[in-house]
C-alpha cells in the first residue's frame, strides 16, 4: 500500500507538472494514478489498425447516426481516418482494416443477443451485401490496406484472423482507432494485449453512442493501452519515426 | 434512423415508467436507449462466475487497497461474494473461480506491459506462492467451486481454460461478478459473449480503482451484458428458478 | 499400468468380437486399444460441419488434383457430401460450411509459410474471387447451410467464427467431414474438442494428399474423435434420431 | 495441375539426390512432394518448446507406459530432452514447458470425453498433486525454463497462456518436441502455426502410443512444420547460430 500511495503522490505531482507544461497536442490522462509511457515506435514493426470504417457507423444515413453521429462529427473521425491512412502509406506502414459483418442467417437465427447486438440486429446493421457494410466512400481500401476477415461480435481476434495477419507482417505495435470507442475499439485493444501486442490508442479518432460511452472508453483505455495519444501527437511522432532502430 | 429514434422514444418512456414502478432492488440502467431483457434462468445451464476472489484485491493489506478498497468496502463485495457462493451451493449450481497469477519469471522478463500491468508488476501483485494470490479467507473454494487455470492478462478465456470448462459442465449462462469492475470482470464479459454464452452481470458485487473506473464499467456492461442486475435482484430470481424448464 | 493392460486385453478381445460380428457399414478401428463410444445424437443439438467444399479440392481442374484427386474419386467424396447435405435438410439439422480463402495480399506478403502453405501459395489455391474458391457446383449452399467466415491456415476456430456460430445455434455435437483428411478436417476436430464440442468424424467422406496422409488422419481420428463412423453408418443413425430426447 | 506435377517431379528428383548425399543426421522426408526449407535461426527470437515432460508419459511406473514406453525408450526421449535443455541454457535461449494437468473435479464432472480423454481419465493421468504430474526427475525446470499455465485437452494455446508467453519473450520460432507425437506435440504445432509462429519439429525427440501413432505424426509434421529435423541435426545448427543476424 505504501508503494501505491507513493505512486499516487508522485503521479499527482507529475500530473500537475504535466498539465502546466503539456503540449496542447498531447492526450491528458484523466486518471492521475495511471503510469505513463512513451512507446518507442519502430516503423518496421508498427501498423495502423482501424475498426469498422463502414457506412453504418460513419455515414449520415446510418440507422445508428442518431446515437453515434454527434461524436463522429465533433471528433472529425472520417477526416482523421483519412489523414492517418494517407500518412501510413507515405511512411510505409500497413493499415489493417477490421470490418463488421452479419449474414441474413445470423439475423434470422442467432439466439443469444446482448444489448449492443439487439440494437444492431433490430436495425440490420452491417448486413452482408448492403450499403451499410460498405466502406465509407473516403476510406476505401487501397494497396496499403490489409483487409482481414470480417468480425462478428466486437473483436476480430475472436471471429476473424487478426492475430495471424499481424504476425504474418511482423507487427508488434498497433496504432488503434475507429468505431466505436467503447465497443469494437476497446475489445480489439483488450484482445491485442492478451496476444502480446503493444497498443497505442488514438483517443480522438474514435466516437461512441453518447458521451457516457465515450468517457467510459477513455477511462478504460488508460488502463488497457500502452499509451493513449491524440491524432496530432501520433502524427508528429510517426513523421519522425524510423525503421529497425 | 427512424427505427432507432423510435427505440429511443419508447425506451425513454419505458425508462420513466420503470423508475416510478421500479422495485428498489432492481438495477437502474443509466443509458435509456439500451434494450432491456430479463434472461430466463435454467439452473441446469447456469453458473456463477467469479473473477479474482483473492487477497490482492479484497483484503486490507493488499498494495492495491488504496485504489480499490473504498469501493470494495462501500459495495460490501466480500459479503456479497460469500452470500452468492452459499446460495449457489444451496440451489445446486456451480461456482467458477477465475484467479489471477504471475510467476517470478513473468515479473522478471515480460517486455510488453500496459497501464494496468505496470501497476500490478510494480507491486508484485498476484505473485505465485504469496499471500496476495491466496483466496480471501471467507471465499475459499469448496466442493461446489470449479477452480480453473489461473489467468494472466485480464481474461481466462485467453490464458486459461474458461471456454472448455464451462462447456464441460453444460453451462450456457454465467452470472458474473468479482474484481475489478472495468478490468477482469469486463474482459471476461466481452470474451464470454464472443464465445456465445449469455452473460448476467451483478453491478454491485464488484468494485474498481476509483469511481471513474466503476462508472465506466457500468456504462459498458449495459452494452455488453444480456442483463445487468443487482445482488438482491438476482438472489430473488435464483431462489425461484428451476432446472430444465 | 495394470489398468491399461486390462484395457488392452479387453479391447483386443472386443476388437475381434467386433470384427466377426461387425455390420459391414461400420467403421473398423485400426487401433484396438482405443475406447469405443456410440455418441447419442439429439437432432436439436447436432449439425453437419463441412470443411473446404470448394473446387480447389474437389474439382478435376484444381492444381491439387494430382495429389488429392485419387482419394476424392475413390471415396466418392462429392457424392457423399451431396447426400449428407440433402439428408441434413430432410431431418432438419443445419450444415455449417467452413471455407478456405486467401487474398492477393496474403499471397504477396505473408512471411511465415509451413509445408502445406507453400504448396497452396505456389499454386495460388483458394484465391479470393477465383474459380478455385467457388463451391463445387454440386455443393452450393442453400437455405439450410450456414456459411461461416472463411478460414486461413487450417481451422475456422482460429481465423473464423466457428465457435460462436455453433453456440448461436445451440449445437453441442458436430458430424465432421470434407477436405482434406489430415489437414483441415483434423485441425477442426482438434479445435472443436478444445472448445468442448462432441465430434463424430465420417472416415470415408474425406480424402487426402496421398495414402500416407489419409492413413495418418484415420489413426489420429481414433484418438481425437468421440466416434469415428462411415457415411452409411451415420446415415442410418440420423434417420432414426430424434429431437430433444 | 501442371505446376504441382512439376513440383512432384522436381521433388522426387531432389528426394533421391537428397538420399544419396544426405548427412546421416538429417531427417529424411517420407513424402517426396513436400517442399523443404531450412529455417534461418536467430537465437534472439528462438525458443525450445517442450510438451508434457512429466512422469505420466516418461517414467516407467506411468499407467501409459505399456502404450508409450517402447518408443520413449527406443527414441531415448528423456536423454534427448535433457541434452536439449542443457544446450538451450548454454546458448542462451529459453525452454518453454507446456504441462498437462487435470483436477479431481475435471475427473469427476467432465461430460464430453474423446478417445484419448477416456484413456487418460480412466487412468487418472496428470492428476493435480500426484506423482504422475511431476516433472520427470531429470527434467525439472531451472532458471532457464518458462513454466506456462498447464493445459487441458491437447494444446496450451487453447487452455493455457502459450501465445502470450511466447510473445512476451519476443519469440518467433519454436523448436518443438516432447510427448506425445501425434497428440500434444502435433496440436501445439498446429496452433503455433495458426498464431503465426515458425515451427521446427524434432522428429526423434518424441514418442507415441504405438508405431501407427508415431508414423501418423511424422506424416503430418511434414505438412505442418516449417522444418522437420533430427536431434543431432538441430544441435549442430544451434551451436553455430547467432543472435540478431
In this prediction, residue B22 carries a pLDDT of 54
pLDDT band at D15 (very low <50, low <70, confident <90, very high): very low
Dihedrals φ, ψ of B240, to 5°? Answer: -95, -10
Which residues are CB-contacts of D59 (< 8 A; sequence separation ≥ 6)? D65, D136
In this prediction, residue B244 carries a pLDDT of 87
* Alpha carbon separation from D140 to B114, D101, D131 (Å, rounded): 32, 16, 13
Beta strands in chain C (DSSP E): 46-51, 95-98, 145-147, 173-179, 198-207, 227-229
Q: What are C52's three cell numbers?
A: 473446404
Q: How far is C223 from chain D (nearest CA, A)?
A: 5
In this prediction, residue C6 carries a pLDDT of 52
Strand order in the sheet with C95-98: C145-147, C95-98, C46-51, C173-179, C198-207, C227-229
CA-wise closest residue to B128 among B149, B142, B144: B149
Residue showing cell 518467433:
D172
Distance CA C179, CA C99 (A): 10
Distance CA A64, CA A183 (A): 14
In this prediction, residue C14 carries a pLDDT of 45
pLDDT band at C10 (very low <50, low <70, confident <90, very high): very low
Q: Looking at the predicted structure, is the pLDDT value of residue D12 above 60?
A: no
Q: What are D56's three cell numbers?
A: 505420466
Inspect the interface and report whether the beta carbons of A105 and C149 lie closer than 8 Å. Answer: no
In this prediction, residue B4 carries a pLDDT of 55
| Neighbour tally for C73: CB within 10 Å | 13
CA-wise closest residue to D157 among A171, C194, C98, A189: C194
In this prediction, residue D219 carries a pLDDT of 98
Which residues are CB-contacts of A100 (< 8 A; sequence separation ≥ 6)? A51, A52, A54, A56, A57, A125, A126, A133, A150, A151, A152, A184
**Mean pLDDT of residues grouped by 10 in chain B (245 residues)?**
49 44 82 94 98 98 96 98 98 98 98 97 98 98 98 98 98 98 98 98 98 98 98 98 86
Q: Looking at the predicted structure, is the pLDDT value of residue C131 above 60?
A: yes
Name the helix (H) or strand (E) containing D10: helix D2-21
Q: Which of D141, D152, D153 to mutate to test the interface with B (most CBs of B within 10 A)?
A: D152
Of C106, C112, C147, the CB nearest to A103: C147
Please name the residues between 78 and 107 in chain B that touch chain A, using a CB distance below 8 Å. Answer: none
Q: Which of C142, C153, C168 to mutate to test the interface with A (most CBs of A within 10 A)?
A: C168
- Segment C29-50 shows an average pLDDT of 96
Inspect the interface and report whether the beta carbons of D168 and B103 lie closer than 8 Å. Answer: no
Tens digit of each residue's pLDDT (9 = 90 or more) over D193-238: 999 999 999 999 999 999 999 999 999 999 999 999 999 999 999 9
Question: Percent of chain D, pLDDT > 70?
Answer: 91
Query: Is residue A49 within 8 angstroms of chain D, CB to CB?
Result: no
CA-derived radius of gyration, chain D? 18
Handedness of CA D191, D192, D193, D195 (dihedral sign): positive
* Alpha carbon separation from B120 to A201, B64, B145, C76 (Å, rounded): 21, 8, 26, 58
Inspect the interface and report whether the beta carbons of A164 and D197 lie closer than 8 Å. Answer: no
Give chain A's length: 245
Omega before B180 within 30 of 0, i.e. cis? yes
Tens digit of each residue's pLDDT (9 = 90 or more) over B16-72: 444 444 577 999 999 999 998 999 999 999 999 999 999 999 999 999 999 999 999
Tens digit of each residue's pLDDT (9 = 90 or more) over C175-230: 999 999 999 999 999 999 999 999 999 999 999 999 999 999 999 999 999 999 99
| Neighbour tally for C172: CB within 10 Å | 18
The more confident residue out of A107 and D23 is A107
Dihedrals φ, ψ of B195, to 5°? Answer: -100, 10
Distance CA C142, CA C82 (A): 12
Inspect the interface and report whether the beta carbons of C150 and A149 lie closer than 8 Å. Answer: yes
**Please, what is the angle between helix C231-240 and helix C77-91, to 10°?**
10
In this prediction, residue C110 carries a pLDDT of 98
Reduce the DSSP state of residue B10 to 3 states and report it. Answer: helix
Q: If you ran DSSP here, which 8-state letter would residue B243 be given? A: S
Tens digit of each residue's pLDDT (9 = 90 or more) over D121-152: 999 999 999 999 999 999 999 999 999 999 99
* Neighboring chains of D (3 or more beta-carbon pairs < 8 A): A, B, C
Inspect the interface and report whether the beta carbons of B220 and A222 lie closer than 8 Å. Answer: no
Query: Is residue B164 within 8 angstroms of chain A, CB to CB?
Result: no
Whether C92 contacts C45, CB under 8 Å: no
In this prediction, residue B24 carries a pLDDT of 76
pLDDT tens per residue, chain A (245 residues)? Answer: 445 555 544 444 444 444 444 577 999 999 999 998 899 999 999 999 999 999 999 999 999 999 999 999 999 999 999 999 999 999 999 999 999 999 999 999 999 999 999 999 999 999 999 999 999 999 999 999 999 999 999 999 999 999 999 999 999 999 999 999 999 999 999 999 999 999 999 999 999 999 999 999 999 999 999 999 999 999 999 999 999 86
Which residues are CB-contacts of A244 (< 8 A; sequence separation ≥ 6)? A42, A44
In this prediction, residue B17 carries a pLDDT of 42
Residue showing cell 504405438:
D210
Q: How far is D7 from chain C (nearest CA, A)?
A: 9
Give chain C's length: 245
Reduce the DSSP state of residue C144 to 3 states and report it. Answer: coil
- Segment C49-69 shows an average pLDDT of 97
Q: Which residues of A124-159 are buried (b: 16+ CB within 10 A; e: fewer)?
A: ebbbeeeebbbbbeebebeebbbbbbbbbbbbbbbb
Amino acid at each position: 500500500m505504501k508503494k501505491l500511495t507513493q505512486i499516487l503522490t508522485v503521479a499527482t505531482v507529475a500530473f500537475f507538472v504535466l498539465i502546466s507544461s503539456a503540449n496542447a497536442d498531447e492526450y491528458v490522462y484523466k486518471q492521475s494514478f495511471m503510469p505513463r509511457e512513451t512507446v518507442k515506435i519502430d516503423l518496421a514493426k508498427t501498423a495502423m489498425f482501424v475498426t469498422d470504417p463502414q457506412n453504418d457507423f460513419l455515414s449520415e444515413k446510418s440507422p445508428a447516426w442518431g446515437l453515434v453521429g454527434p461524436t463522429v462529427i465533433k471528433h472529425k473521425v472520417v477526416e482523421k481516418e483519412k489523414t492517418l491512412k494517407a500518412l501510413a502509406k507515405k511512411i510505409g506502414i500497413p493499415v489493417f482494416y477490421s470490418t463488421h459483418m452479419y449474414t441474413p442467417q445470423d439475423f434470422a437465427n442467432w439466439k443469444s443477443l446482448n444489448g449492443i447486438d439487439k440494437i444492431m440486429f433490430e436495425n440490420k446493421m452491417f448486413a452482408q451485401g448492403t450499403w451499410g457494410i460498405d466502406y465509407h466512400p473516403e476510406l476505401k481500401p487501397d494497396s496499403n490496406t490489409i483487409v482481414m476477415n470480417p468480425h462478428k461480435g466486437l473483436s476480430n481476434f475472436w471471429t476473424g484472423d487478426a492475430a495471424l495477419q499481424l504476425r504474418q507482417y511482423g507487427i508488434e505495435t498497433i496504432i488503434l482507432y475507429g468505431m466505436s470507442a467503447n465497443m469494437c475499439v476497446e475489445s480489439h485493444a483488450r484482445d491485442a494485449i492478451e496476444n502480446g501486442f503493444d497498443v497505442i490508442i488514438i483517443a480522438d479518432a474514435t466516437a461512441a453512442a453518447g458521451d457516457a460511452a465515450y468517457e467510459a472508453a477513455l477511462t478504460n483505455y488508460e488502463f488497457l493501452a500502452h499509451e493513449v495519444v491524440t491524432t496530432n501527437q501520433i502524427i508528429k511522432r510517426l513523421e519522425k519515426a524510423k525503421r529497425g532502430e
